[in-house]
Amino acid sequence: MPLHLHNTATRSKDPFEPLTPGLVKMYCCGPTVYHFAHIGNLRTYVFEDLLRRTLEFSGYEVRHVVNITDVGHLTSDADTGEDKMEKGARREGKSAWEIAEYYTRAFQKDWKALNLLEPTEWPRATNHIGEQIALIEELKAKGYTYSIPGDGIYFDTAKFPRYADFARLDIEGLQAGARVAVTEGKKSPTDFALWKFSTPEVQRQMEWESPWGKGFPGWHIECSAMAMNILGETLDIHCGGADHIRVHHTNEIAQSEAATGKTFARFWLHGGWLLEAPDDGADGGKGGKGGGKMSKSSGEFVTLDVLIQQGYSPMDYRYFCLTAHYRNYLNFSHAGLDSARDSLRNLRKRTDALIGKSVPVRSDKGQEWQSRFLEAVNDDLNFPQALGILNLMLKDADVLDGEKATLVAEWDALLGLGLTVAEKSEIPDLPGDLTPLLAERADARKRKDWARSDALRDQFRARGFVLKDNPDGSVGWEKVSA
Ligand code: AMP
Ligand code: ZN
């Protein structure tokens, strides 16, 4: 079966072909770098990585752009509230620029740890202010904007009749429900800021001159401006989390298509949410809400570093993501992550034994497994099914080990689990009562309580485990005689 992808624009699984033969232009909304990415954000990037790998496996060159939102994302979708970067700067007593730099690096470290393929470009919104201003000028010249004095330049959604189509919005319902909350001066609750004016009352660290006065761009305009400048006016694929459908992507479509008169993106793919399981202590026991969509604004969320400190590896989390279809919700729980870790360990035991044995896949049985695996992947990235096929293939006594080794290596180019490298599976299991001490030691190190951290290290040593702090922040161990 040729590659089929579920397109949010058509609400159906459509056969995928890029506009330019052999080349896929793909834009993915990147992080807002005012805080660490949580594992919900990372789930979306894992899904996008699986898509990228699938496209490359199908023989396409992929131009993959992931932006860095380092300005303009307000704390509310209704264009009120504070700029998240300025808020992050106040929270930490640093400059907004320092905050952006620090969290961009932290994000890219998580990216590498999860074995996500490096994008072709990582454009930062603050490096593309000129293009954003030019796009707003274009929209103004075509009559799509209006100004609210003392506030900003807004997109007039009533002038774009298809505005509600993408998210199947009920505009009348929205208008009826929003009488109280709408920003003063907005003609419709769906209108959105393209440019916000700096005001004398608020001293901003990030602001620029524009034809309409000093200020800063709205959040949505950056993605349209960067995507179209780097990839061209029509993208093959635009991705993001499902939370972006109603506002952010709807606004991106309106402003891009109003400016160019062309389709902005042919395929829209959206990743389902990672949910916090209630009562799991998913936030490390700090008493977070639990049960809803994991979000940065809740203040309590789980990062990849927290998981590493709890003794999981980034690949355990990647495997956990692979167990659910990308469009479905996925409940995060430690029990679920433990079972992903166990499955990955078992898988590695089998695949490690095959390393170095590859021979070409010639048997009918081997080729049948190959087509079953690719069938699953090409069916809108059905990786949970593909994982099941991998496990069944490994147990099939009719397939030679050499063929198995070749299939594992080929399929791992899609799964990205590092199954052709044996190192991780050599780590011996820790006794259950020692595992919680890893988190305690990480906490002591964070507090620079070296005495406590050394005492904990000694406890591991006394039981025959020598701890090793890896450069990526994770902790490994070796078994020695106690
Ligand atoms: P942000 O940094 O908040 O702009 O989000 C970065 C990416 O993570 C976007 O594509 C969001 O749609 C996505 N995202 C946010 N929360 C979740 C979640 N709980 N589960 C999956 N994806 C999410
Ligand atoms: Zn975006």
Percent of the chain clearing pLDDT 70 (strictly above): 93
CA–centroid distance, 434 to ligand 2, in Å, is 43
CATH number of the domain residue 148 falls in: 3.40.50.620
Q: Decide if pLDDT at 182 tops 70.
A: no
Tens digits of residue pLDDT in 131-143: 999 999 999 999 9
Q: Is residue 417 part of a domain?
A: yes
Residue 285: is its pLDDT beyond 80? no
What is residue 290's predicted lDDT score, i.e. its pLDDT?
53
**The pLDDT of residue 423:** 56
The closest residue, in CA terms, to atom 7 on ligand 1 is 41
In this predicted structure, what is the pLDDT of residue 425? 45
Query: Which pLDDT value is given to residue 184?
Result: 82
Prediction pTM value: 0.86
Residue 162 in this model has a pLDDT that exceeds 60: yes
- pLDDT band of 288, cuts 50, 70, 90: very low
- Do 37 and 184 fall within a single domain? yes
Helices (H) and strands (E) in the chain, counts: 15, 14
Binned at pLDDT 50, 70 and 90, residue 2 comes out as very high
**Same-domain status, 452 and 368:** no
Structural domain including 392 reads: 353-423
**Is residue 293 in contact with ligand 1, taking CB distance under 6 Å?**
yes
**451 vs 287, more confident:** 451
Distance CA 63, CA 404 (A): 32
Which residue lies with its CA nearest to atom 8 of ligand 1? 41
For residue 251, which ligand has an atom nearest its CA? 2
Higher-confidence residue of 366 and 448: namely 366
Q: Is residue 307 part of a domain?
A: no
Q: Is the CB of 41 under 6 A from ligand 1?
A: yes
Report whether pLDDT(43) > 90: yes
pLDDT in tens, 82-107: 788 888 888 888 888 899 999 999 99
Q: Exposure of 105 by Cβ count < 10 A (0-12 exposed, 13-18 middle, 19+ buried)?
A: exposed
- Please, is 157 exposed, middle or buried when counting C-beta atoms within 10 Å of its C-beta (0-12, 13-18, 19+)? buried
Report the nearest atom of ligand 1 relative to the CA of 248. Answer: 12
Binding site membership of 67 for ligand 1 (Cβ less than 6 Å): no
Residue 434 has phi, psi (to 5 degrees) of: -85, -25
For residue 7, the number of C-alpha atoms closer than 13 Å in the C-beta half-sphere is: 16
Whether residue 227 sits in one domain with residue 92: yes
Give yes or no: residues 114 and 207 share one domain: yes
Considering every ligand atom shown, identify the ligand nearest to the alpha carbon of residue 238 and give its number: 2
- Residue 280 has what pLDDT? 53
Provide the CATH number for the domain around residue 366.
1.20.120
> What would the mean pLDDT of 146-151 be, rounded to a whole number?
95
Q: Which of 271, 288, 307 is the last residue of a domain?
A: 271
**Residue 116: what pLDDT?**
98
Q: Summarize the confidence of residues 356-372 as an average pLDDT.
A: 95
pLDDT number for residue 284: 46
The confidence band for 144, taking pLDDT boundaries of 50, 70 and 90, is very high
Per-residue pLDDT, 92: 86
Do the domain assignments include residue 11? no
| pLDDT over 80 at 79, yes or no | no
CB 223 near ligand 1, within 6 Å: no
Arithmetic mean of pLDDT, 249-266: 98
Ligand 1 contacts CB of residue 29 (under 6 A): yes
How many angstroms separate the alpha carbon of residue 44 from the centre of ligand 1? 7
* 192 in the same domain as 261: yes
**Residue 1 maps to a domain:** no
In short, whether 215's Cβ falls inside 6 Å of ligand 1 is: no
| Ligand 1 atom having least distance to the Cα of 31 | 2
Q: How many domains does the chain have?
A: 3
Domain identity same for 155 and 247:
yes
Distance between CA 264 and CA 257 in Å, rounded? Answer: 6
Distance 249 CA to ligand 2 centre (A): 7
Q: What is the mean pLDDT of the chain?
A: 91
Residue 298 has pLDDT above 70, yes or no: no
**If you ran DSSP here, which 8-state letter would residue 215 be given?**
E
408 CB less than 6 Å from ligand 1? no
pLDDT classification of 293: cutoffs 50, 70, 90: confident
What whole-number distance in Å separates Cα of residue 154 and Cα of residue 192?
Answer: 5
Q: Do 118 and 27 sit in the same domain of this protein?
A: yes
54 and 155 co-located in one domain: yes
Q: For position 299, what pLDDT does the model report?
A: 61
Is 31's C-beta closer than 6 angstroms to any atom of ligand 1? yes
Per-residue pLDDT, averaged over 439-446, amounts to 87
Smallest Cα–Cα separation from 219: which of 69, 85, 81, 41? 69
Contacts of 262 (CB under 8 A, 6+ apart): 233, 234
User: 173 or 93: whose pLDDT is higher?
Assistant: 93
Is the CB of 240 within 6 Å of ligand 1?
A: yes
Least confident interval from 57-66, 258-267, 304-313, 427-436:
427-436
